[in-house]
Amino acid sequence: MRSHLLLPALFFSCLLPPLAAQEDDPTKDLFLIHCAACHGETGDGKGTTELERPARSFLDGGFSYGNTPEAVLRTLSYGIPGTPMPAFDVALTKDQREALAQYVISLGPPGTIVDPAQTELVVKEETLLARGLLPPIFLAADKQPRGLLIGLPSGTTFEYRTDDVRLLGVRSGRFVDRMDWTGRGGAALKPLGRVIELFGAGKPKTSWYLATIGKKLPPKELGASMRTSFTRGTSGGLGYELIDNGTSAGFVMETVSHVRTPVGSGWRRSFTVRSEIPDKVLRFDGLDMIPPEDLLGAFEGDLQKATDGHTDRLYGTQHWLVRKNPSGFQVTVIHSLDFPNQGGAVPGPKGDVGFWIYPSFENVTVNITRLTCLTWDDATRTAIAKELSK
């Protein structure tokens, strides 16, 4: 009996790296420099940095994106949006990241690499689109018979309904299980990522409005009609027509991408807008308002003066909103790189995550970028600004 008990112990000890080798391990040094502050020196998740939600313990195994070296490498390279886990693609070489991935996996229990289920759609080097019936993204939200998922290689998934083109939320993790590949085919898809962003509690209101220049009429809700969807390497997106009483009010190409900086990672929606109605303003109001009391900071980036043909106005190319949330600091930036030559985008008032498109400009591009950072200081701001200027 005794020998039976001994066998497994021997087996495990063979798998552990020899103690002496660990001490000389340059990968361990990398771990101590870049990871241990949050994840702990032993990888137990008890680092010195105070986090509202503790960083992952590597000792138990199991990673947000799956347990394969490729998956962990992806996390190291892209970061995890919605958490303070930053991207290390600049700070570390690919070899270093690969070694680090192996290292953190080795901290956990030995396990087999699980083949993705037969019905799981896995995003590899290029963005994937998946259409289908979507389950409610949040408690009392509705199922979405015309759902569209845009899954980026970073593990970020944008979840839309295409009937009237509204972004329901953003997820992070594995892509989607095609439950409709079984039975007669009516089942809802099962998005596998964790919801890191939810708009309108899963029931978002209209994103686009039409406002009249110089009149204080309430803005008018616009419909939207899906026209195209696309993938471009590691980003993707969709195009839709804005509809005012059955006629075209404009056309929007919306590109979604992953954003990574050394101080935090996140996502971006980039809107290229063409207005079809000459005397009206298109207003985008597609993100939830941040309550003013939550705002740590709201400030304009490089303010410049420009003439839009009607009045002299100040246009902000960068409109920053910073708030503290359980994961760290959420930084939202509304920015138009086209300014001032092709400008015409105006951010909303304080706390408002929206913008206006003035009619005299064609194909204005406005980006909304949202990152989660562990800290908020000048260095963080500089690092983000550097990414924005790319």
Partner 1 sequence: MILLPFLLAALQGDAAESTYYELETFKTPSGAVLEVGGLDFFSDGRLAVSTRRGQVWIVDGALGDDISKAKFSLFAEGLREGLGLNVVDDQIHVMQRGEVSRLLDEDGDGRCDRIDTISNSWGVSGNYHEFGFGLPQDKQGNFYITLNVSFSNPWWLGKSPVPFRGWCLQIAPNGATRPFAYGLRSPCGVGTNAAGDLFVTDNQGDWVASSPIYHVTEGAFFGHPASLMWTDEYRSTNSEPSYEIPSAAAANRKPPAIWIPYRWSRSTGNLTYDSSEGQFGPFQGQLFVTEMTNGVVLRALMEKVRGEYQGAVVPFRSELGSACRIAFGPDGSLMLGYTNRGWGGRAPADGLARLRWTGKTPLDFHEIHLAQDGFNITLTEPLAKGVTIDPSTVDALQYDYNYWWEYGSPPQHLVPFKAQAVQISEDRKSLRLTFAALTAATCLDVKLPDHLVTEDGRPLLHREFSYTINQLPEGPLCLEQVSKIVSPPPSKENAMEGWLRLTYSDATALWDFEGWRLTNAQPTEGDDSILSLTEGDGALVPVKEGAQFLGKINLGDHKGEVEFQLTRGGSAELWLLGQYAIKLTDNPACGTVAGKQPDPAIRGYYGKGQWNKLTWDIQAARYDQTGNKTRDAVLRSLRINDQPMLENVILHAPDEDAPLGKESALGPVALTGAPHRCAFRGVMVQPGRQSAPQDGWSEVFPEDEFDDWPSTGDAEWELNDDGILIGTGKAGHLFSKRDDYKNFELKGRFKINDGGNSGFYFRVQAEEGWPPGYEAQINSNFPDPQKTGSLYSLDSITTWIVPENAWFDYEIRCVDTDAGTHITIRVNGAEITDFVDTERLHGAGHIALQQHHEGSRIEAKNIMIRPLD
Catalog residues that contact partner 1 under the rule CB under 8 A: 121, 126, 128-133, 143, 145-146, 149, 162-163, 178, 180-188, 226-232
- Indicate the residue among 175 and 320 with the shorter CB distance to partner 1: 175
Q: Taking the complex as a whole, how short is the minimal distance between the CB of residue 206 and partner 1, in angstroms?
A: 18
Q: Taking the complex as a whole, how short is the minimal distance between the CB of residue 141 and partner 1, in angstroms?
A: 13
- Indicate the residue among 128 and 298 with the shorter CB distance to partner 1: 128
- Indicate the residue among 191 and 266 with the shorter CB distance to partner 1: 191
Which pair of tokens denotes residue 245?
Answer: 């009483």
| CA count, 13 A, side-chain hemisphere, 345 | 32
62 φ/ψ sector (left φ>0, alpha ψ -120 to 50, else beta): left
Q: Taking the complex as a whole, how short is the minimal distance between the CB of residue 305 and partner 1, in angstroms?
A: 39
Q: Taking the complex as a whole, how short is the minimal distance between the CB of residue 163 and partner 1, in angstroms?
A: 7
Q: Taking the complex as a whole, how short is the minimal distance between the CB of residue 146 and partner 1, in angstroms?
A: 4
- Indicate the residue among 244 and 387 with the shorter CB distance to partner 1: 244
Compute the distance between CA of residue 339 and CA of residue 347 in angstroms, rounded to an integer.
13
- Indicate the residue among 126 and 300 with the shorter CB distance to partner 1: 126
Give the three-class secondary structure for 186. coil
| CA count, 13 A, side-chain hemisphere, 2 | 0
Encoded amino acid at 2, one letter: R
Which long-range contacts (C-beta less than 8 Å, at least 24 apart) are formed by 19-24? Answer: none
Compute the distance between CA of residue 275 and CA of residue 248 in angstroms, rounded to an integer.
9
Q: Taking the complex as a whole, how short is the minimal distance between the CB of residue 149 and partner 1, in angstroms?
A: 8
- Indicate the residue among 110 and 186 with the shorter CB distance to partner 1: 186
Cβ(181)–Cβ(124) below 8 Å: no
Compute the distance between CA of residue 349 and CA of residue 151 in angstroms, rounded to an integer.
32
Our measurement of the distance from residue 33's CA atom to the centroid of its chain's CA atoms, rounded to an integer in Å, reads: 26
